[in-house]
């Protein structure tokens, strides 16, 4: 399952927040990945509840994950606690944004 988890994170790293230009992983939007024989479950957040790109980002994530899920169901679970903040951006993401 570790290889599949890495594949899930790699797939999510292809999903770019068009407003910021960073991927979901670098942005710190992924709160957890759980994999079972039947399902890939990803807990994620957005930069805000009213994120105007929220539906688009969720759709892109769903599509990216379906590419690695095989016969597993993909479940994207939005999480709002703790709320996202810029400190969650990875070091590489901060460097890319020159923060």
CA distance to 9, 35, 56, 71, 77, per residue, from 31 (Å) = 11, 14, 19, 23, 10
Average pLDDT over every residue of 51-64: 94
- For the chain, what is the domain count? 1
**Phi, psi at 50, each rounded to 5°:** -95, 20
pLDDT, residue 99, reads 78
CA distance to 59, 60, 95, per residue, from 44 (Å) = 13, 13, 22
pLDDT, residue 81, reads 95
pLDDT, residue 2, reads 85
Q: How far apart, in whole angstroms, are the C-alpha atoms of residue 85 and residue 29?
A: 9
Which structural domain, as residue segments, surrounds residue 39?
A: 2-97
Percent of the chain exceeding pLDDT 70 equals 99
**Mean pLDDT score of the chain:** 93
Q: CATH no. for residue 32?
A: 3.30.300.130
Of 30 and 97, the one with more pLDDT:
30
Confidence (pTM): 0.91
């Amino acid at each position: 399952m570790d290889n599949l988890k890495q594949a899930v994170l790699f797939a999510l790293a292809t999903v770019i927040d068009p407003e910021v230009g960073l991927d979901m992983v670098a942005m710190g939007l992924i709160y957890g990945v759980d994999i079972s024989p039947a399902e890939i479950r990803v807990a994620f957040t957005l930069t805000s509840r009213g994120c105007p790109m929220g539906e688009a980002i969720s759709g892109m994530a769903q599509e990216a994950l379906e590419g690695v899920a095989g016969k597993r169901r993909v479940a994207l679970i939005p999480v709002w606690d703790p709320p996202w903040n810029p400190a969650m951006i990875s070091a590489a993401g901060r460097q890319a944004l020159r923060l």
